[in-house]
Amino acid sequence: MNERRLSPLDRFICGLDDAVRAAASPTRASRPSPAADIADTDLSPPDKSHAAGLMRVNHAGEVAAQGLYQGHAAVARDTAIEAQLVAAAEEERDHLGWCEERLEQLGSAPSRLRPVWFAGAWLIGAASGVLGDKWSLGFIEETEKQVAEHLTGHLERLPEDDAKSRAIVTRMRMEEEQHGANAQAAGAAPLPEPVHRLMRLTARIMTGTAYRF
Could you give the CA distance from residue 144 to residue 91 in angstroms, rounded to a whole number?
13
Could you give the CA distance from residue 78 to residue 134 in angstroms, rounded to a whole number?
10
**Domains of the chain, earliest start first:** 8-21+43-212 (1.20.1260.10)
* Cα-based torsion angle of the residue sequence 170, 183, 32, 99 in order, rounded to the nearest 10 degrees: 60
What are the residue ranges in the chain where pLDDT is below 70?
A: 1-26
**57-66: b (≥16 Cβ within 10 Å) or e:** bbbbbbbbbb
pTM equals: 0.86
DSSP state, residue 106: T
> For residue 1, what pLDDT is reported?
45
Question: In 3D, which of 106, 116, 125 has the Cα closest to residue 168?
Answer: 106
